[in-house]
Amino acid sequence: MTVSTTTGTSGASARWLRRPRPRHYPEVRLVCLPHAGGTAGEYIPWAARLPAQVELIAVQYPGRQDRLDEPCAQSVPEIADALVPALAPYADRPLYLFGHSMGGLVAYEVAVRLEAGAGPDPAGLFASGALAPHRVTPPREMLDDATVEADIRTSGWSDPAVFEHPELRELVLPALLADVRAVLSYHRRDPVRLRCPIVAYAGSDGAADVPAEAAAWGELTSGPAAWRQFDGDHFYVRSQQAELVADIEARMSNWGNSPVGHP
């Protein structure tokens, strides 16, 4: 499959955004943000599952794959600050934001900036496998690489194969460590309350109390809020891809027509 990088738009858009199936006149766009250490490629298969009226835009963070020669971002807000202008050429259609794990926090920060006047309000936010911003507690001190790597291994934030193959480790680990540090340093003591709907997703095998964490996300919107669990661990987004994409599509279709609640 040929992946377009936003030909004819700003350099920022070309660096940050991937459009696996470009649509000339979509009704809406779904912007997908990867987990720590993840890439835009995680979402390429989603495009085939979405109807023609929905254009998928996958975000590529710096420091990996075709952006390997760029320095990794140091914080979640830094990523959001760069993404908002990159998305500007595509804000002529309603933008829905989906983020998994770290991507959920980045999606929230993008939504905050859009609603503050940096662009049109987002049409909705899907936060997957992520604590609500005001529930994230950073460590008291900066952690060294060995400690961060140990936390990654035990938390299930990454595929274990990353640590088993030296060549893969050398390519992936720097971005993964930088991303995890960005998550660990992130916290909003007084989070901004959004106007757009929010849906929180999680895998059923995680350690988190999903109803409680979903309720926390609901505190961050004056609009409708909902949550849903899927069978699987933190990376249920892979094993339950078809069901998850179908759920997102259904909610995008229904928002604005009826209240969103627990399924």
Active site residues: 101, 234
Give the SS3 label for residue 57.
Answer: strand
Q: Record the tokens describing residue 247, joined without a space.
A: 């759920």
Burial of 207 (0-12, 13-18, 19+ CB in 10 A): exposed
C-alpha gyration radius of the chain = 17
Cβ–Cβ < 8 Å for 241, 207: no
Kindly write down the DSSP assignment for every residue of 145-165, as one continuous string: HHHHHHHHHHHT-S-THHHH-
Residue 53 backbone dihedrals phi, psi, to 5 degrees: -80, -5
Q: How far apart are CA 96 and CA 174, in angstroms?
A: 30
Assigned token pair, 63: 């420091």
Yes or no: say if 86 and 118 are a contact pair by the CB < 8 Å rule. Answer: no
Spatial separation of the C-alpha atoms in residues 111 and 108, rounded to whole Å? 5
